[in-house]
A and B are shown apart, each in its own frame.
Chain A
């Protein structure tokens, strides 16, 4: 395995420059958007693992968050809407030595891609899924998502959302995930540590990150950019080991953050290897 490249430029470099395709900056994310914060936490976590970069790959679907794969200086894949997880599963099962990170949004992973999420969790596919949850479809202009709170206004629910949102940690837990956590973009240290932990965790790891979309969600729901961050600060409570049943997002009652699940279970590739008598991968 090769060592991580070091850059010796005359100008001071950002500590994450070696993980960013700097020639693709500026990025597409709006002012006040939280995706960049999640992205940089993810990169910090990758760096902190000290695993050689060429053992990592990042896969995304379609949407604002999914553009992350285009900015990371790793082998990276920007696939079709909702299909990042099965694409990533193919990579992992064909080469179990790779660390596969799926970086995508709530619309991509839980509406169009919901079926793939539950099956990858059921199989305990050894990948890390980071979901930026901004409660809406940002890229298409703010339509209702499978995560949009009841009664919220979006362009396709002009009279308020008649439907109820998913409780993502509960879904991940019920489907068999080995590691489930939730943070917000205000909790960057916890988030970074959590992604690091998830990368090192054998099995299906899922981290939900609450992130504001002031342009396409906040604006229609009387939430100014700072209001959303205030909610993240004041109306959340860190409670590791909380029952995922209590993890629905209700800022009036208080939103639970922290690590919900951290269990040991045989992974898909290990099980395939032992069942079909193949040599196991070494990690």
Chain B
């Protein structure tokens, strides 16, 4: 039996690193359905979960997979699933159930190229807007984008922590390249890994209200069997959790659901910067495309351009204020992503005309070559 945290240096894929991150974060339940290029996450979880007395189950489809992790989450268990485009589409309705019922869980999406079956074995970043808005209705969600197997390990832990802290499903938006490539992954000592658990209720059970927000806007969450007799529904509900079919209840629920994310943006949003101090051309990127951006910054600097990179670790919620501030002081923003414009439009919206926003995108299938960014810089600046 191996321990939960495999401290040491490893040479593993991003998919395996996601699985190890989950185990290190205390994940004890994994329900999934096989799909390229995310299958290896499931395979590794199947092997590793018995080590930590956890449970793996391969469900009959992705709808069942996400439903099972939501159910497991209410037993007080940290739970996760992993999928790719078509499976992610199937999960959308129950993702909304997770948001509405404030159920912590983690969903890994190892993105491939779409639409439809697309290029199952090749990379893409075309699910970013689906990650934001894919389930019906209005809501807030958290999505992270790892750029390496090492990130996969840490981002999965971060995803669990955010999910537990804010009682919201958290999406880890990896991609085929990150998922399938092997690199060095350093797993620290267990004592160095900070874990967050969902807030538990205290006080009188008869006065307990399931969705009464705590100090940071997040309500404490009991587990099945704790004696709180909770009712959990995907219908619009009041603070007791009871269905409430009124405009007022809808407004109150939405205020709570959005507020707990919107009022904690500083705590949630993480970005990284590279040569940004004097940059007047800013490349905005996330996930595997960060690697394109890093090389492009160096190449552009060699040519005399003051280029810098803003890396979005958290893509959703979007770092609106940061983009606004950058737009005030630069000559242009270039978004690099493996789609034909998704996060780019968010950057453009936030730049608000203060600086022009450009896209270096692609239809998918491979990482974008830094030369494409350099070409754009040469043509434009």
Chain A residues within 8 Å of B93, by CB: 80
Provide the bound-state CA to CA distance between A193 and B57, in Å: 32
**Is A13 part of the binding interface, using a Cβ–Cβ cutoff of 8 Å?**
no
Instruction: Name the segment of A69-77, A177-185, A223-231 touching the other chain.
Output: A69-77
Q: CB within 8 Å of A: which of B66-111?
A: 67-77, 79, 93-94, 97
User: Taking the nearest CB of chain A, how far is it from the CB of B138, in angstroms?
Assistant: 18
Are the CB atoms of A94 and B64 closer together than 8 Å? Answer: no
Question: In the complex, A79→B79 CA distance in Å?
Answer: 17
By a CB distance below 8 angstroms, the chain A residues around B231 are 21, 69-70, 76-78
Whether B97 pairs with A80 at a CB distance below 8 angstroms is yes
CB distance from A56 to the nearest CB of B (A): 9
With A78-B232, A89-B57 known to touch, is A98 a contact of B67 (CB < 8 Å)? no
Is B28 at the interface (CB under 8 A from chain A)?
A: yes
Q: Are B227 and A54 in contact (CB under 8 A)?
A: yes
A119 to B231, CA, bound (A): 26
Can you list 5 residue pairs at the A/B interface with Cβ under 8 Å? Answer: A76-B232, A83-B64, A95-B75, A98-B75, A119-B64
Assembly CA distance A98 to B72 (angstroms): 12
Residues of B within 8 A of A89 (CB): 57, 59, 64, 68, 71
Beyond A83-B64, A95-B75, is A277–B50 a contact (Cβ under 8 Å)?
yes
Question: How long is the Cα–Cα vector from A91 to B70 in the complex, in angstroms?
Answer: 8
Q: Is B255 an interface residue (CB 8 A)?
A: no
Which A residues lie within 8 Å of B273 (CB)?
A: none
A45 to B230, CA, bound (A): 21
Partner of B234, one of A23, A24, A78: A78
Nearest CB in chain A to that of B242: its residue: A24
1/0 per residue B300-328: CB within 8 Å of A? 00000000000000000000000000000
Question: B121 contacts the other chain (Cβ, under 8 Å)?
Answer: no
Contact between chains at A119 and B57 (CB < 8 Å): no
A78 touches B233 (CB 8 A): yes
Residues on the A chain within 8 Å of B272, using CB: none
Alpha-carbon distance A198/B323, docked complex (angstroms): 59
Given known pairs A2-B227, A278-B53, the reply for A83 and B242 (CB within 8 Å) is: no
Q: Is B182 an interface residue (CB 8 A)?
A: no
Q: Say which residue of B57, B65, B73 sits within 8 Å of A93 (CB atoms).
A: B57
When distances are taken between beta carbons in the complex, the residues of chain B under 8 Å from A74 are 229
Which A-B residue pairs are the 8 nearest by beta carbons? A90-B71, A90-B68, A86-B64, A94-B72, A86-B67, A78-B233, A276-B50, A90-B72
Give the Cβ gap from B42 to chain A, nearest Cβ, in Å: 15
**CB < 8 Å neighbour of A75 from B31, B68, B70, B225:** B225
- How far, in Å, is B345 (CB) from chain A's closest CB? 30
The answer to whether A94 and B75 touch (CB under 8 A), given A54-B225, A70-B242, A78-B231, is yes
In the complex, the chain A residue whose C-beta lies closest to that of B100 is A80
Q: Which residue of B lies closest to A59 (CB)?
A: B71
CB distance from B103 to the nearest CB of A (A): 10
For the complex with contacts A23-B242, A76-B232, A83-B94, 19 further pairs of A-B residues with Cβ separation under 8 Å are: A70-B242, A77-B71, A77-B232, A78-B233, A79-B67, A83-B64, A85-B64, A87-B67, A89-B59, A90-B29, A90-B31, A90-B71, A93-B72, A94-B55, A95-B75, A95-B77, A97-B225, A119-B64, A276-B56
- Are B224 and A91 in contact (CB-based, < 8 A)? yes
User: Which residue of the partner chain B has the closest CB to A117?
Assistant: B60
**A87 near B71 (CB under 8 angstroms)?**
yes
- Complex CA–CA separation, A115 to B65 (angstroms): 13
Tell me which residues across on chain A come within 8 A of B97, comparing CB atoms: 79-80
Chain B 217-244, CB-CB to A under 8 Å as 1, else 0, gives 0000000111111111111000000110
Interface residues of A in 145-169 (CB under 8 A from B): none
Does A272 lie at the interface of the complex (its beta carbon under 8 Å from any beta carbon of B)?
yes
**B229 contacts A75, C-beta separation under 8 Å:** yes
- Contact yes or no, B67 A75, CB < 8 A: no
Closest-CB distance, A23 to chain B (whole angstroms): 8
Say yes or no for A239: interface residue by CB 8 A criterion: no
* A134 proximal to B (CB < 8 A): no
Asked if A115 meets B74 with Cβ closer than 8 Å, knowing A75-B224, A78-B233, A90-B29, the reply is no
B15-51 vs A, CB cutoff 8 Å, 1 = contact: the mask equals: 0000000000000110100000000000000000110
Measured between beta carbons, the chain A residues less than 8 angstroms from B76 are 95
Cβ contact within 8 Å between B55 and A272: yes
